[in-house]
Chain A
Amino acid sequence: MGRPMTDSQAYELKSMPRAGLQQLFALLVAQEFRLVGPTLSDGAIVFDEIATPDDLPVGWTDRQAPGSYRLEKRPDKRAFGFVVGPHSWKKYLFPARETLHRATFDKAANLWRQSDDNAVATAFIGVRACDLAAIGIQDRVFSGGEIVDQGYSKRRRASFIVAVNCLQAGDLCFCDSMGTGPEATAGYDICLTEFDHTFLLQAGSRRGEQLLAQLPVTAAAAHERDKLTAGLAQCRGQMGRRLDTDKLPGLLFANLEHSRWDEVAQRCLACGNCTLACPTCFCYSVDEVADLGGQPAQRERSWDSCFSQQHSQINGATFQPAIKDRYRQWLTHKLASWQSQFGTSGCVGCGRCIAWCPVGIDLTEEVAAIRNNASEPLSMPAYRPAAGAGSSGPFATLFAAAEAPVVAVTAETADTATLALKMPQAYRYRPGQFNMLSLPGIGEVPISISGERPGIVEHTIRSVGKVSAALSKLQANTAVGFRGPYGSAWPLAQCRDRPVSIIAGGIGLAPLRGVIRTLAAQQRQSEHPLRLFYGARRADALLFTRELSQWRRSGLRVAVAVDRHTPGWSGNVGTVTTLLRRKDMPARGLYLVCGPEVMMLAVVRLLRQAQVPAENIYLSLERNMKCAAGHCGRCQYGPYFVCRDGPVFSYDRLQLLFGKRGF
């Protein structure tokens, strides 16, 4: 699981007297590693900086139950005689708070200010097999895709891992069910097994082997090997929990309306503790912070959770308002969507979410309850390692923004403007994709690309929040930060040999304008009809009105409707769906749809009634996004990240969830 750091070569198992542990620590310190490991604090075994083996919780163990954790004295002097505590190693690799970068240009130094690289070389002492697997999973999330989190990767490369095999299991452990433990098999530099008087040592990397060679070790005896095997077997037998993972992803998604979700929502506090204690949960928030003085604006990243309202909130909508929505989001992501997104479960069986839930909700119990009375499992989208093929190029970075001059601004409506940005020569995009636009000290938002001219890319922005308000009020000869393009594009190649209908609502016309322009230019040569159905709230909210007339002249069939009649409007009144007649919806046509979700839902219903196959319908979705790289977790939509797998989806991929509340 994960990206093994371990060399393929097998190293010999060694034996070392207990006193050798001090030497191991000293050697690591001599190599300038900071040591972090388990230690006693506030009634628990937490991870903190340590100096000597005396700092370890020698002679202590933990007793855990749902919502309960207690320290107890052990009869022996074992230093690793416990399972896992409230902390996980992510606090070092993916810190709870981190300054990402400063967003102002330092004229004197002629550079963009970046945060200090705080990748301190760190040796993690006592990493359990479940936690090794968790680190492997976060490796996939942050550095396994096309866009790599450099800070995480630096910290990861600067780490040295001393693993520990578990010879005893806790009441909440179920690593055996998840296939992650109790034996550390990969991803470590040195693995320890603790006995009363000796440690067994196994190198897992060349540098681990080199270190081991300087320790007072001898080859492990046969009886010691037997003791290790027996200890691991005993540990497997002791696990207090198990999770049946058989067809679990499809099972959960087939049972999204199971009564158990309502039941657990009555007990769940939505406090977020399960996700924050989880060693694999990776959702984060990014906030612009700036003080009153002359300090440059900074961007700060902090742990977030799908149990916060702000996680799923965009201007005007919270996609997961109810506690039931949030718990279901968490469990289906952890145990199901994760498989489609990263090719692994998000759960390693450590039991932290059970212990540190103040009301003791036990996910193994919840899954078992859902298995009772369950509908047949669905088939889930397969994991595709290169899912985000669209997000590429030199400017599709993580948070490092380039500067784009604003060369022209066109007011479209009272609250909407189009910015023409001068892009670097190497910048390429496909219609349907989006950029992240930013203003230092104000914030960053995803904005779809609404058109282009040579060297220029356009963004049509409606003022709905603070950032979009500031962007839409920009004037020519200013500049914005940008990074991109990200995400998937409209299926232009498929539009050539068949009727195409474009159905847009409100600002939803903007991401479609690039496609319309391309197709309109080819329309004279085409024998297939090209139609545009466009709806807006009122006549004065209609976008690109001059261009609508031009498109008509070039052979596009354009139908427009407004929700409410206003003086001077002589056209259609009603929703955009009132424009769609059965004869306008041939089954072999291609349908590109963008607008408010409720409008898209109504359109999809009509198209499906007209026997249009799901794969001929394309939708563009909108969700909260902070990173655009599939890392921050905010734009999750079942098995997808809207930023990476979308925003443009063919409807056959969305059928699973589209129109369901709470996603």
Chain B
Amino acid sequence: MAVEQQTARPRLGVFKLTSCDGCQLTLLNCEDELLLLADKLDIVHFPEGASPGQPQGPFDLAIVEGSISTPEQADEIRQIRRCSRLLVTVGACATSGGIQALRNFADHEAYRKAIYARPEYIESLATSTAVAQHVKVDFELRGCPIDKDQLLELISAYLRGRAPAIKNESVCFECKRRGTVCVVVAADTPCLGPVTHAGCGAICPAFGRGCYGCFGPREAAATQALAAQMKTMGESEQQILRAFRLFTAASPAFEQESRRHE
């Protein structure tokens, strides 16, 4: 997979489904590295970075932002998959369904009627789901939004043919490495850090806030044990439910936990 020759630059496609564009913006925010990136990759399709056009496959690397929340998107993602050698999803929407997956817990029909004057013109699915529930995904980059350095690491690793140095540990690892004093232990602040996938650099606890879980559940997320701990700190069932039902509400581990507190 290592690509060394400049003459055959891998073709990159960036795609957007239901999302806020924040993760694509992370790519644009790469400023210093953007020219290097354009030098190593043939950026064929990138709606946030260029005038939108019809995507011209095939792609060596497809980066997909956003969740599947309409029937068209369910078709579109299959098409993207068909013409992409490697498909990477980025951000909470693409990897878990995003904040819009709150609809999965509500009456979709009622929402549609309450919001749109002519709901019959709106065609959307009753659920917002992760891309991996529809097609095979080669790598999921977490975050809401994703971390710029992790995105660059992912692309660099792809270009060199190495496994990206992206860890699936808890946010606590990042807190401890940067020497942040634990907000749970020292300040009784509820924090999802122990069950959340690392990658943000543990920003919130460094500013005295508990982790909101933007990166979604880590592997082996002990949500039940954490919920029990939040309860002993005086959090109500409703507060615990809300903590788990946020940016990655539909990720299996967090969904399961939030349902326990309904």
Residues of A near any B CB (own CB < 8 A): 41-44, 46, 67-70, 86-87, 91, 96-97, 266-273, 276-277, 285, 287-293, 297, 300, 302-305, 307-310, 321-323, 326, 355-359, 441-443, 465-467, 469-470
**Do B225 and A292 have beta carbons less than 8 Å apart?**
no
**Which residues of A sit under 8 angstroms from B186, Cβ to Cβ?**
42-44, 69-70, 86
- Minimum CB–CB distance for B69 against chain A, Å: 31
Residue in contact with A86 in the complex, picked from B33, B160, B182, B193, CB distance below 8 Å? B182
Q: Which residue of A lies closest to B224 (CB)?
A: A266
**Do A269 and B187 have beta carbons less than 8 Å apart?**
no
- Residue of B155, B162, B191 most packed against chain A (CB within 10 A): B162
A-contact bits for B1-27, CB 8 A (1 contact / 0 none) = 110000000000000000000000000
Residue in contact with B162 in the complex, picked from A273, A288, A304, CB distance below 8 Å? A288
Binding stretch for chain A, among B165-173, B239-247, B251-259: B165-173
Q: Which residue of A lies closest to B176 (CB)?
A: A276
Q: Which residue of B lies closest to A42 (CB)?
A: B181
Residue in contact with A310 in the complex, picked from B162, B169, B224, B229, CB distance below 8 Å? B169
Residue in contact with B225 in the complex, picked from A267, A285, A321, CB distance below 8 Å? A267
Tell me the bound Cα distance from A466 to B152 in angstroms. Answer: 18
**Do A276 and B173 have beta carbons less than 8 Å apart?**
yes
Tell me the bound Cα distance from A538 to B239 in angstroms. Answer: 56
**Which residues of A sit under 8 angstroms from B169, Cβ to Cβ?**
272, 304-305, 307-310
Is B177 in contact with chain A by the CB < 8 A criterion? yes
- Minimum CB–CB distance for A461 against chain B, Å: 15
**Do B160 and A291 have beta carbons less than 8 Å apart?**
no
**Do A467 and B162 have beta carbons less than 8 Å apart?**
yes
**Which residues of B sit under 8 angstroms from A323, Cβ to Cβ?**
220, 222
**Do A465 and B179 have beta carbons less than 8 Å apart?**
no
Tell me the bound Cα distance from A272 to B188 in angstroms. Answer: 19
Is B194 in contact with chain A by the CB < 8 A criterion? yes
- Minimum CB–CB distance for A467 against chain B, Å: 7
**Do A292 and B177 have beta carbons less than 8 Å apart?**
no
**Do A272 and B173 have beta carbons less than 8 Å apart?**
yes
Query: Is the contact region of chain B dominated by helix, strand, or loop, or is it mixed?
Result: helix
Chain B residues 169 to 218 lying within 8 A of chain A, measured CB to CB, are: 169-170, 172-173, 176-182, 184-188, 191, 193-195, 208
Q: Which residue of A lies closest to B223 (CB)?
A: A269
- Minimum CB–CB distance for B260 against chain A, Å: 15
Tell me the bound Cα distance from A308 to B169 in angstroms. Answer: 5
Is B102 in contact with chain A by the CB < 8 A criterion? no
12 contacts between A and B (CB under 8 A): A86-B181, A266-B224, A268-B222, A269-B195, A273-B172, A290-B156, A292-B33, A292-B152, A300-B165, A303-B173, A308-B173, A356-B185
Residue in contact with A292 in the complex, picked from B36, B181, B194, B229, CB distance below 8 Å? B36
Residue in contact with B172 in the complex, picked from A41, A97, A272, A466, CB distance below 8 Å? A272
Tell me the bound Cα distance from A321 to B170 in angstroms. Answer: 15
**Do A291 and B152 have beta carbons less than 8 Å apart?**
yes
Residues of B near any A CB (own CB < 8 A): 1-2, 33, 36-37, 40, 152-153, 155-156, 159-163, 165, 167-170, 172-173, 176-182, 184-188, 191, 193-195, 208, 219-220, 222, 224-226, 228-229
Q: Which residue of B lies closest to A305 (CB)?
A: B173
With A67-B184, A86-B182, A358-B229 as contacts: A97 and B219 at CB distance below 8 Å:
no
**Do A42 and B208 have beta carbons less than 8 Å apart?**
yes
Tell me the bound Cα distance from A42 to B206 in angstroms. Answer: 9
- Minimum CB–CB distance for B184 against chain A, Å: 4
The 7 A-B pairs of least Cβ separation, nearest first, read: A276-B176, A271-B194, A287-B165, A96-B177, A269-B194, A271-B172, A42-B181
**Do B161 and A356 have beta carbons less than 8 Å apart?**
no
**Which residues of B sit under 8 angstroms from A277, Cβ to Cβ?**
176
Tell me the bound Cα distance from A293 to B181 in angstroms. Answer: 36
- Minimum CB–CB distance for B220 against chain A, Å: 5
Q: Which residue of A lies closest to B222 (CB)?
A: A269
**Do A308 and B168 have beta carbons less than 8 Å apart?**
yes
Residue in contact with B36 in the complex, picked from A68, A293, A358, CB distance below 8 Å? A293
**Which residues of B sit under 8 angstroms from A442, Cβ to Cβ?**
2, 160-162
Q: Which residue of B lies closest to A303 (CB)?
A: B177
**Which residues of B sit under 8 angstroms from A268, Cβ to Cβ?**
222, 225
Tell me the bound Cα distance from A469 to B162 in angstroms. Answer: 9
Residue in contact with B40 in the complex, picked from A270, A292, A302, A308, CB distance below 8 Å? A292
**Which residues of B sit under 8 angstroms from A466, Cβ to Cβ?**
1, 161-163
**Do B222 and A309 have beta carbons less than 8 Å apart?**
no
**Which residues of A sit under 8 angstroms from B191, Cβ to Cβ?**
358
**Do A310 and B167 have beta carbons less than 8 Å apart?**
yes
- Minimum CB–CB distance for A43 against chain B, Å: 5
Tell me the bound Cα distance from A87 to B175 in angstroms. Answer: 12
Tell me the bound Cα distance from A304 to B194 in angstroms. Answer: 15
**Which residues of B sit under 8 angstroms from A289, Cβ to Cβ?**
153, 165
**Which residues of B sit under 8 angstroms from A91, Cβ to Cβ?**
179
**Which residues of A sit under 8 angstroms from B167, Cβ to Cβ?**
285, 308, 310
- Minimum CB–CB distance for B169 against chain A, Å: 4
- Minimum CB–CB distance for B112 against chain A, Å: 39
Tell me the bound Cα distance from A272 to B172 in angstroms. Answer: 7
- Minimum CB–CB distance for B192 against chain A, Å: 11
- Minimum CB–CB distance for A172 against chain B, Å: 12
**Do B193 and A271 have beta carbons less than 8 Å apart?**
yes
Tell me the bound Cα distance from A441 to B4 in angstroms. Answer: 13
**Which residues of B sit under 8 angstroms from A310, Cβ to Cβ?**
167-169
**Do A465 and B163 have beta carbons less than 8 Å apart?**
yes
**Which residues of A sit under 8 angstroms from B176, Cβ to Cβ?**
96, 272-273, 276-277, 303
- Minimum CB–CB distance for A470 against chain B, Å: 6
Q: Which residue of A lies closest to B33 (CB)?
A: A292
**Do A46 and B168 have beta carbons less than 8 Å apart?**
no
**Which residues of B sit under 8 angstroms from A293, Cβ to Cβ?**
33, 36
**Which residues of B sit under 8 angstroms from A290, Cβ to Cβ?**
156, 160, 162
**Which residues of B sit under 8 angstroms from A44, Cβ to Cβ?**
181, 186
- Residue of B40, B169, B191, B195 most packed against chain A (CB within 10 A): B169
With A308-B173, A441-B162 as contacts: A356 and B182 at CB distance below 8 Å:
yes
Tell me the bound Cα distance from A6 to B167 in angstroms. Answer: 41
**Which residues of B sit under 8 angstroms from A87, Cβ to Cβ?**
179
- Minimum CB–CB distance for A353 against chain B, Å: 11
**Do B219 and A309 have beta carbons less than 8 Å apart?**
yes
Q: Which residue of B lies closest to A47 (CB)?
A: B179
Residue in contact with A276 in the complex, picked from B2, B40, B153, B177, CB distance below 8 Å? B177
- Minimum CB–CB distance for B256 against chain A, Å: 16
Question: 12 more A-B contacts (CB under 8 A) besides A276-B177, A356-B182?
Answer: A86-B185, A96-B177, A272-B172, A307-B169, A309-B219, A321-B220, A358-B185, A359-B226, A359-B229, A443-B163, A466-B1, A466-B161
Tell me the bound Cα distance from A326 to B168 in angstroms. Answer: 15
- Minimum CB–CB distance for A419 against chain B, Å: 17
